[in-house]
Amino acid sequence: MKTLYKTFAAIVLITFSVYDAKKEEAPEKKKLSSEIQSRKSYWPNGAQLVISVSMQFETGGQPEGAESPFSGNPLPKGNPDMPAESWFRYGAKEGVYRMLDLWKKHNIYVTSHVVGEAAIKYPEVARAIANGGHEIAAHGIAWKDQWNLSYKDELNFIKKGIDTVEAITGKRGRGYNANWLRRGPNTLKVLQELDFLYHIDDLSRDEPFITKVRGKNFVVMPYTLRNNDIVNIEGKHWSPNQHLAQLKMEFDQLYKEGATKRRMMSISMHDRIGGTPAVVNAVDQFIQYAKKHKGVVFMRKDEIANMVKNDPNTPEDNSEFKFNN
C-alpha cells in the first residue's frame, strides 16, 4: 500500500488534483493497526506489563574511532587510542559482571546481544552471560555496518556471528540486533533464511508485532532509544537520577495503559555504559520500584517472541512490505 500511496501523493503534488478519499484502500487493510487491534489484545499470561532488558556485549569488537567519550576528538587513523581502548575494556572487566550481579539479585533473565568478535576476545564474559541463564542473541560477527552488504555477504556476516558465539557459549542466537539498529532492505529475509525468530531494530511500537516476510510470520520486538543508556555514550549531560526519572515516568504510563491493552517496556544497557556503578544503581532502584506493582513480569525476548508469534491478538504491521515480500 505504501508504494501505491507514495506514487499517489506524488501525482497529487504535480497535478494538484483534488485528493479523493474514496480511492483509499489502506484504512480497510489496516484493521490490525495498533489503534483498533491492540486495545483488544492482552498478554497471554495475564501480565499487566512485560519488561524486557537488552544487555549489549560489544566490547572488544569495536573498530578504531568507535563512539566513545573520545570519538569527538579522534586520533589520526592508525594511532592506538589507549584511553579509548581502556574505556571499552571496562565493559568486559567490570560492566557485564556488575549487571549480571544485578540480574541475579533480582532473579531476572535478560537478552544479551553479543558481537562475535567480542565473544572471541572475551569468551569468559560470553560464557558468564550464558551460564547465568540469559538469552544469547545475535549482534553480527563484527561491530560494523551491514546495511550496505549484499544479500550473500549479509547472510555470511550474520551466520558467522551465530556460529562463532554458539561455538563459545553453546547457545545459538535466534533474535537479532544490527549495529546501530542499521539493518538493510534484505535483513529480515536473511534472518528468516537463518531461522531467526525475531529482530529488535524497530522503534515504532510499545508492543511486539508480526510482520510478514515472504508471506510468513516474523516477530518484531519493540526497541527504544528512550530507556537506553546509549543516550549517554559521550558520558555527559545525562545524570543517573535523570535516567531513573525516565525509567519511572515511562513505566508509570505504560503500566497504566497495560490495564486495557498489551504494553511492553524495553530497556537497554551497554556493557561499558550501563555497567557503570551509578547506572546500575539507578536500574536497581527502578527494578525495586517496578516490582512493587502487581502483574509486572521481566522476560527474555525469545520467550516473549515465542509467546506472541502465533497469538491472533498480536497486531500485524506490514509497513515495510515493499522490502519483505
Smaller CB distance to a copy of itself: residue 192 or 319? 319
Q: How far is the CB of 168 from a copy of itself (least distance, A)?
A: 6
Q: How far is the CB of 63 from a copy of itself (least distance, A)?
A: 12
Q: Which of 170, 116, 123 is nearest to 140 (CA)?
A: 116
Smaller CB distance to a copy of itself: residue 204 or 310? 204
Please list the residues that pair with 216 across neighbouring strands: 213
Please list the residues that pair with 212 across neighbouring strands: 217
Q: How far is the CB of 51 from a copy of itself (least distance, A)?
A: 13
Smaller CB distance to a copy of itself: residue 68 or 111? 68
225 in Cβ contact with 231 (< 8 Å): yes
Smaller CB distance to a copy of itself: residue 276 or 314? 276
Smaller CB distance to a copy of itself: residue 180 or 313? 180
Q: How far is the CB of 282 from a copy of itself (least distance, A)?
A: 6
Smaller CB distance to a copy of itself: residue 151 or 323? 323
Distance of alpha carbon 35 from alpha carbon 98, whole angstroms = 40
Smaller CB distance to a copy of itself: residue 90 or 307? 90
Distance of alpha carbon 66 from alpha carbon 50, whole angstroms = 33
CA 4 to chain centroid, in Å, comes to 30
Q: How far is the CB of 117 from a copy of itself (least distance, A)?
A: 5
Q: How far is the CB of 173 from a copy of itself (least distance, A)?
A: 14
Q: How far is the CB of 175 from a copy of itself (least distance, A)?
A: 16
